[in-house]
Amino acid sequence: MTITRIEAGPRMSQAVVHGNTVYLAGQVGAPGESVTKQTRTILDQIEALLDEAGSEKAKILSATIWLADMADFAEMNGVWDEWIGGRDAPARATGEARLATPDYKVEIIIIAAR
């Protein structure tokens, strides 16, 4: 089976397609922005990568969301819920983790079908 790498660099690819499955790298927003702004930016990036891979948000199978602080759960969910629109919700897990820099508040990892 063919493996296609999207926005590949020496360390990582932003997306990898294997068969009919699309794996996205963890997406982050602009450092220092609010949780709302970072989440919106991330979801826009996810849509663009899925489109490039031949998929779409309705085909997301799984989402893993990391928050630097679980106190931001409701704020992030407000953006997420609007984006999902009450349909085609994927399996999802959310946890708290120290992200790559303290300026990142949200990171989202997606697996989708094509």
Cα angle 45-19-58, degrees, rounded to a multiple of 5: 45
pLDDT per residue as tens digits for the range 50-100? 999 999 999 999 999 999 999 999 999 999 999 999 999 999 999 999 999
- Chain segment 7-57, per-residue pLDDT in tens: 999 999 999 999 999 999 999 999 999 999 999 999 999 999 999 999 999
Q: Give pTM, 2 decimals.
A: 0.96
Contact 68, 76 (CB under 8 A): no
Residue located via tokens 């499955």: 21
Q: Of 47, 67, 49, nearest to 57 (Cα)?
A: 47
Q: How far apart are CA 65 and CA 53, in angstroms?
A: 21
* pLDDT score of 12: 97
- Write down the pLDDT at residue 39: 98
All domains in the chain, ordered by first residue: 3-113 (3.30.1330.40)
Q: Rounded to 5, what percent of the chain is helix, strand, coil?
A: 30, 35, 35
